[in-house]
């Protein structure tokens, strides 16, 4: 995909024109996270920008959280609720029960013994890592810019 087509795809997904500086920044972030300029990646990135325009951890941090969730899900087809909480605990994510319930509300609620498919958990794990990064006392260097 050439640069002009990629930029047009991104602008259409975003719903507005972007400046040259913004486009350069977008390309740099995608390259940093080893995402090629494909229509799927550009639409995904535009969706993140639309859903979370100003996050405490920035888009780069969100992409890092998404990558971390993807790595966990690659080794599991499904997980029980208790296993998910254990995995999150291992990463230092220890939210209140109400927060866990809110994260799971989109997939029918949280139950310790219920088995959840990996495809549904990717979003929840990403939310959990964003939660941890947002509420960490000191964000890692470079994570809050992007």
Q: Residues 25, 63: one domain? A: no
Please check whether residues 63 and 42 belong to one and the same domain.
no
| pLDDT at position 124 | 84
70, 138: one domain? yes
Average pLDDT, the chain: 82
- Tell whether 16 and 45 lie within a shared domain: yes
pLDDT in tens, 1-47: 899 999 999 999 999 999 999 999 889 988 888 888 999 889 888 88
For the segment 52-110, what is each residue's pLDDT rounded down to a tens digit?
666 555 677 777 777 777 787 787 788 899 998 998 888 888 889 999 999 999 899 99
Any residues with CB less than 8 A from the CB of 60 and at least 6 apart, and which? 29, 32, 33, 142, 143, 145, 146
Q: What single DSSP character describes residue 118?
A: H
pLDDT at position 139 is 44
Residue for token pair 């920044």: 25
Rounded CA separation 107/87 (Å) = 19
Residues 32 and 91 in one domain: no
Domain co-membership, 76 together with 136: yes
Q: What is the pLDDT of residues 119-132, one digit of tens each?
A: 888 788 888 887 88
Cα(6)–Cα(20) distance, integer angstroms: 13
Looking at the structure, do residues 81 and 144 belong to the same domain, yes or no? yes
| Residue % of the chain over a pLDDT of 70 | 86
Residue 146 has pLDDT above 50, yes or no: no
Confidence of residue 143 (pLDDT cuts 50, 70, 90): very low
Residue the block writes with tokens 């977008």? 26
Distance CA 41, CA 76 (A): 23
- Determine the pLDDT at residue 53: 60
- What's the pTM value of the predicted model, to 2 decimals? 0.59
Q: For residue 29, what is the enclosing H or E element?
A: helix 20-32
The structural domain count of the chain equals 2
Give the domain range for residue 58. Answer: 54-146
Residue 3: burial class (beta carbons within 10 Å; 0-12, 13-18, 19+): exposed
How far apart are the C-alpha atoms of 94 and 5, rounded to whole Å? 43
Separation between Cα atoms, residue 52 and residue 54, nearest integer Å: 6
């Amino acid at each position: 995909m050439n640069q002009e087509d990629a930029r047009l795809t991104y602008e259409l997904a975003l719903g507005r024109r972007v400046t040259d500086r913004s486009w350069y920044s977008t390309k740099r972030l995608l390259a940093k996270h080893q995402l090629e300029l494909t229509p799927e990646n550009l639409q995904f990135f535009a969706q993140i920008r639309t859903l979370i325009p100003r996050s405490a951890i920035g888009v780069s941090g969100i992409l890092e959280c998404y990558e971390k969730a993807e790595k966990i899900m690659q080794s599991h087809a499904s997980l029980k609720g208790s296993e998910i909480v254990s995995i999150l605990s291992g990463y230092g994510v220890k939210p209140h029960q109400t927060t866990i319930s809110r994260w799971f509300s989109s997939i029918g609620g949280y139950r310790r013994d219920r088995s959840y498919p990996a495809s549904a958990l990717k979003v929840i794990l990403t939310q959990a890592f964003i939660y941890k990064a947002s509420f960490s006392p000191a964000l890692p260097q470079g994570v809050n810019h992007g």
